[in-house]
Structures are given as C-alpha cells and as structure tokens.
Amino acid sequence: MKSKNNTPKPASKSSRSILSIAVSTLILLLIFALGILLGDRGVLNGAIFNPRGNLDLQTSNEIYGILSKSFDGELNSNNLQHGSASGITNATGDRYTRYLNPEQANTTRQRSQGVSIGIGIEVGVKNGQLVVIAPISGSPAKEAGIQPGDIITKIDNVAVRDMTEQQASAAIRGSAGSNVDLKIMRGQEEKNFSITRRPFVIPSVEAKIDSNNIGILKINTFDDNTGRLSRAEVEKFINSRVKGIVLDMQDNPGGSVIAARDVLSLWVPENTIIMTEKRNSKVIRTYSTKGKPIAKDIPTVVTLDSGSASASELVAGALRDLKDIQIVGEQSFGKGSVQELRTLSNGGMLIFTVSRWFTPDGHSIDGTGITPDQKVNDQNQSSSATLDFAVNYLIKNTR
C-alpha cells in the first residue's frame, strides 16, 4: 500500500517480525503436509523423499529475512505461501506434479463436474515446445479454430520458451469476459488468435446413429459422468440394433481413471485387469472392470489423434490388448503417468505423479503414444475424415 503523497510507508519492526514468523510457519507446514500426503508413496520422479527426515529451511528463512528488511516493495504473505508451495512441486522436476491455489483448485473441481471457465485447451511440453494437446469440444478455443499439435509461441505477447506447463496454463487462465492472445505455429505458418474466456459446459459424451446404422460414441473427456452417460448411450445403440460402434476419442485429453475403467467395462468382461500401475518397476495397483459388458459382442473401432492422451490412451490400449479392437487415426499424445489429487487445508490442491501405467499386455505409452493399426493421414487435421474412415472400415469388415 502507498500513502496519499506516494511515499512508501515503512513497515514497523513488529509487523515485519510477525510476517516473518507467519511465512516461515506456513513454509514449514507446507513441507510437513507434503510429507504426510506422500506417506508411504515415498517417490517423486525417481528421487526418494523421506517423510521422517528434515528439510533444511535455513536458506529460505535467510532469503526471507533479507527481503523482509531490505526489499523495495510489498511482501504479500498469500503470494509467498502459494509461491513456496509451487516451488516445492516445481523442484520435483516432474511436469505433471503441481500446486493449484484455491481459485485454480476450484476450477479443476468444476471441470470434473463438466463445467469450466476459460478458453478450453489442454497444453503440454513436447520436444521443448508448448504444444496444444487438444481443444475441448464446445470451448472457445475449439470454436476459434485451435487444433491439436499447434505450437504456442506467445501468450499475450509474452514468449513461452522459458515457461513451464503450469506457468503457461496459469497465463492462459482468466476471468470470464477477458481475452487472451495466442501466437501459434502450425507447420510453417504463424497464426494469431484473440479468444474471449467464458463459462462453457464440457459435453463428456455425445452419441448418434449414422445412416449406416453405426453407433458413434464420442467421448470428449473422462469426468465423473462419463461412465454413466456412456452406458446409457450404448444401451440405446443396442435397442436400435446397430451394426457396430465407433468409439471416437479424438481430441480427448483424458481425465479420471475410474471413468476410463467404467467405459472399458462396457466391452471387457467383469473383473478383468485393464491397467497396472508401477512405481520403480514394482506393481503397486491394478484396476479391473466392473459391471456387465453390454457391448462385448458388438463390432467396434476406436479413433485417436495427436490430441488423445492419458485416459483415452488407456482405454484404446486395453481394448487393443484384450479385445483386438482396431485403432484408426493418428499417433496419440503419449501420457503414461498417473496423478493423484489432494485437497489442502488452505483450499488449494496438490496434483502429483504417483506411478506409471501399463496396458494389460505390459506396454508403456509414456512419451511415445499409441500407434494406430490404420493410419489416416489427413493434411487438414479433420476429425471427421478419421471418423468417416473408421465407419467405412467397420462396414467393410463386419459384413
């Protein structure tokens, strides 16, 4: 704060002392909480974290002590708290481990219910570049023409070359009604987009029956509603006696493992292992199907593209391994790690990598993705071209 004559008002020694103690305490609590949250997990990006050990905070306290006495500016305790939490997660070296402040955490919770505010894109770092994994169906980014594989070079005229995924995502986020300017490279062509942030509903599942009596089950994301909605749509397909199903997961950036399991349970017999999690090469958890596989005898084809990641890759990989279902389209993104979400006492959220996942046959797709059985090289990156190919392939091979 500044006084009316614009002369900075010096903080009193007592107030600086109280602030120093408060921030130091917050940092200690964050470190302690992180140790409890990790518990017996004990591993972050391959480095052992001993929750019983002590983290030397002398340097952090020394830095804060100097700043609190001599820094030419205002020190905000909330910003310092969130900054220290982000510093811990960034220091793991794992791009998927991050801290979300309360506002960001609330946005994440809303998205799990199918509602979001922003422009609606998932981004990731690939080969040192910030890449659009997928624009979300029905989002401002999708409507503006953003495509999977677009390379973002600037956000609001700020170069992204030194940004982490978390910093880039934070820069893209904002309040409804505000704009964000993106400069991207698409092949050799540079494009500029000015996109207005707004609330939008993420349609987890969309479905239709085409003129060939093929059921198209389009899954845009794996959230809390995906399993229930997918089963309801497949039941409609069965009642309509469809000849086959195209499970379309193009531009699907992933989501909940449980939702992926529920979708797989439509095709795969109950109690079949569909994913194995490993940490340091040791199996720590398996996931098995649950519920009646009502689509198990219906000919099915899966579509993927470069915007298909995480849970969508899990579903495709398991269907290939367990049901020999053909995959059509492009190489998928290649996210083969598992994250857990923990709500923190301040209302924020810790998202951290706990394992790597493997398909039923033991394949890891991390960093490589899934190679389709039938490649569709569409220069216009049109999802409809891949969908048409999948429908025709299904018709030809189910006569």
* Cα–Cα dist 349/120, whole Å: 20
- For this structure, is 335 an active site residue? yes
Q: From 103, 99, 101, 80, select the one nearest 34 (Cα to Cα).
A: 99
- Count of beta carbons in the 10 Å neighbourhood of residue 96: 18
Q: What letter does residue 40 receive in the DSSP assignment?
A: G
**Candidate list 335, 337, 355, 383, residue with the active-site label:** 335
* Cα–Cα dist 349/361, whole Å: 34
Q: Partners of 246 in the beta sheet?
A: 216, 301
Q: From 146, 93, 145, 149, select the one nearest 126 (Cα to Cα).
A: 149
Question: Which amino acid is located at 354 in the chain?
Answer: V
**Candidate list 126, 224, 278, 321, residue with the active-site label:** 321
- For this structure, is 56 an active site residue? no
**Candidate list 86, 256, 310, 312, residue with the active-site label:** 310
- For 248, the token pair is 């379309």
Beta strands in 119-272 (DSSP E): 121-126, 129-135, 151-155, 158-159, 179-186, 189-196, 198-201, 205-209, 214-219, 244-248
- For this structure, is 396 an active site residue? no
Q: Which residues are catalytic, by number?
A: 310, 321, 335
